[in-house]
Amino acid sequence: MNAEMSIKQASEQLAALRETIEKNIEVLRHLRTADDALADAMQPESAIQKAFEEVQAAERVCPDFYVKQGVIKVRQELEAARRSPMSADFGRLRSQLREHALNSASRVVVRDATRLEEETLAWLRVQELIAAHVRALSELGAQGLKATEGK
């Protein structure tokens, strides 16, 4: 009964962790797409617009608090650049994007992946213990059956 409850709780935790990881990966994808858009300065207006839309999409996903702060700052920078795209400093915009949002989002994804890996290793240890317990129970049951055959 306790083992079943533990497994149910672990499954619920895994579902919540999975949702968080998927959300943070989505934020990271949007920010990388924004960075790629800013790499093309040949069409400044469309590049800034594309980057702005991707940063807004990342913000709508509701990222981690620290990532959200950086995303908001980058969005504000892109809003200002949208007013005069021809004079926008794309190197500075990419630097701001990477420094304030992309790096933070990457760290959050790594943190989540590390936590998931640790959880996986813990469950592998639990499975080993369960397997050893089942073997011991099986051997004990076999001994009991052999003992009854001898009479």
**Which of the given ranges, 61-65, 67-71, 118-122, has the highest pLDDT on average?**
67-71
pLDDT in tens, 118-137: 988 988 888 898 899 899 99
126 lies in some domain:
no
Residue 34 domain boundaries: 2-115
Total count of domains within the chain: 1
Give yes or no for a contact between 97 and 74, defined as CB atoms under 8 angstroms apart: yes
Indicate the length of the chain as a whole number: 151
Quote the pTM value: 0.78
**Which pLDDT belongs to residue 81?**
94
Which long-range contacts (C-beta less than 8 Å, at least 24 apart) are formed by 72-77?
73/100, 73/101, 74/34, 74/100, 74/101
Task: Give the integer Cα–Cα distance in Å for 9 and 29.
Answer: 30
99 lies in some domain:
yes
pLDDT in tens, 2-43: 878 888 888 888 888 889 899 999 999 999 999 999 998 889
25 lies in some domain:
yes
Query: What average pLDDT does range 67-93 have in this prediction?
Result: 93
Q: Tell me the CATH number at 94.
A: 1.20.120
47 exposure class (CB count in 10 Å sphere: 0-12, 13-18, 19+): buried
**Which pLDDT belongs to residue 151?**
56
Give yes or no for a contact between 67 and 27, defined as CB atoms under 8 angstroms apart: yes
37 lies in some domain:
yes
151 lies in some domain:
no
Q: Is 62 left (phi over 0), alpha (psi -120 to 50) or beta?
A: left
**Which pLDDT belongs to residue 2?**
81
96 lies in some domain:
yes
Locate 65 and state its tokens. 């608090």
